Amino acid sequence: MAEAPMSCDCFVSLPPGSRDDHVIFGKNSDRPRDEVQEVAHYPAASHPPGSTLECTYIQIPQVEQTHAVVLSKPAWMWGAEMGANDQGVCVGNEAVWTREPVVPGEALLGMDLVRLGLERGDSAWAALTVITALLEQHGQGGQCKEDPVPFSYHNTFLLVDRNEAWVLETAGKLWVAQKVTEGVKNISNQLTVGAEISAEHPELRSVAQAQGWWDGEREFNFSQVFSPENPPARMELAKQRYKGGTELLQQHDGSVTAEVMMSILRDKPSGICMDSGGFCTTGSMVSVLPRDTSLPCIHFFTATPDPSRSIFKPFIFSDCSTRVLRVVSPQFGPDDPVRKQPRFQSQVDRRHDLYKAHQVALNAMETNPDEGSVVHEILRDLESQCLSEISAMLSGEIPGDELGDLFFDCVDTEIKFYH
C-alpha cells in the first residue's frame, strides 16, 4: 500500500498583503500520484422542489438554485479539491485528524462539502454556513482515495471572497471558524485555530469538557484541545510545510500577486510542491478576486500534475462559459468502480486529453533534458502572455468579455504544442 498523502496547502492574501487591491487565493492539491484531476465547469441551474442530489456516496436534498462553479476535482468523485463560483467565492480543503474519531461508513466527503459550499454560497461566510449545516445533517466520512484500502479523515477549509477569508476547522460534526480580514494566511494538514475564535459549534466546548479534554476554566484553544495526543506522522510533517508556507507568504507580504502565489505553489524545497513517493501535487489553483466588483474574478488552473512543470491557465465566468472537454475525464456511468459494490475493485483510465499530452511531453523532456528546458521556457512564455492579458484587463485596457474563451484557447494551444 502506498503511504497516505502528507500534504495539501491553501493560501490567501488580502490587502495590504496583496500588491494591488485584490484578494489572492491559492491551493496545491496533493493526492495519489496516478490520480487524474479534471477541471470542470457547471453552469448555474434551477432544480425542482423536492429533488435529490447524488454526491460521491450519499444522496441529499437538492436546493432550488445553484451557482455556476468551476472545479479542480479528482475525476472519480463528485466533489472537488478546490474551486470557485460565479459569486466570487473560492474554497479549498485539507485533510486533518483530531481527537474526535473518524466515524466508519459513508457520508459526505470533505471534497463534496467544498463543491456544495460553492454551489450554494454567495459569500465566504454563506458557504461556511452551508458546510456546517450539512455537517450537522449528514456528517463527514467515506473512502477518500480510489483504493479499497480504508482511508478517511476530517477536514479543514479555507473560504475566500472579495472582502474576507474564513478558516473553518472540523472535528466530526463539531467545528470552529476564524475570520481573516487583512494580511496573509495559510493552512495545511493540521489544526491552526487557537483561542482567536470568530464562530463555533454550539456544543463544541461542552463536548470538550465532557471528554475531559478541557477543564472549562483555562482559555479555550481549539488546536490544543482537539489535536490528537499522538498525531499521525503526516500531521507532524505538515507543521514543517505550514511553517515554510507562512515564511514564503511573509517574504512577499505587501507584494503578493497571482505570479507570486504561483511561485509559492511551485516551491519544492519547502515541500509545498510535493513529489514524494506515491503522492504528488496533482492539481493547482490560483484566483484573483478584485475588490472592485466591476472587475471579474480570474481563476487559474493547471489541470495537470506538478505546477513546476505545468502552466496555469485562466478561467473567467461569462455568459458563454462552456465546459472545456479536453480537461474533463471520461465518464463510466454505472460501470464505474466507484459506483459498484464493493467499491474500487478495479481501475479505469480517467486521463483527459491534456493529461495524456502532458504525460507524453514530460516523458520526452526527461529523455532529452536540453530539449525539455526549451519546452519549459516556451510554456512559461505562454503563461506570461496570459498573465499580461489578464493584467491589461484588470487595468481597463482590454474588455473582460473578450477573454471569456481564454481558458479554452490556452488548453487548446498547450495540447497542440505538446503534439
Q: Which residues are catalytic?
A: 8
Maximal CA-CA distance, the chain: 65
H or E element at residue 289 = strand 279-290
Q: In angstroms, rounded to a whole number, what is the distance separating the alpha carbons of residues 155 and 74?
A: 16
Q: In angstroms, rounded to a whole number, what is the distance separating the alpha carbons of residues 164 and 13?
A: 10
H or E element at residue 131 = helix 124-138
| End-to-end CA, the chain | 35
Q: Which residues contact 381 (CB under 8 A, 6 or more apart)?
A: none
188 in Cβ contact with 242 (< 8 Å)? yes
Nearest to 204 by CA among 217, 216, 192, 196: 216
Q: In angstroms, rounded to a whole number, what is the distance separating the alpha carbons of residues 345 and 356?
A: 24
Q: In angstroms, rounded to a whole number, what is the distance separating the alpha carbons of residues 11 and 25?
A: 6
CA of residue 26 relative to chain centroid, distance? 8
Burial class (CB in 10 A: 0-12, 13-18, 19+), 292: exposed
Helix 369-394 / helix 353-367 crossing angle, nearest 10 deg: 140
Side-chain half-sphere of 101: how many Cα atoms within 13 Å? Answer: 4
Coil vs helix vs strand at 173: coil
112 in Cβ contact with 79 (< 8 Å)? yes
Nearest to 249 by CA among 183, 189, 188: 183
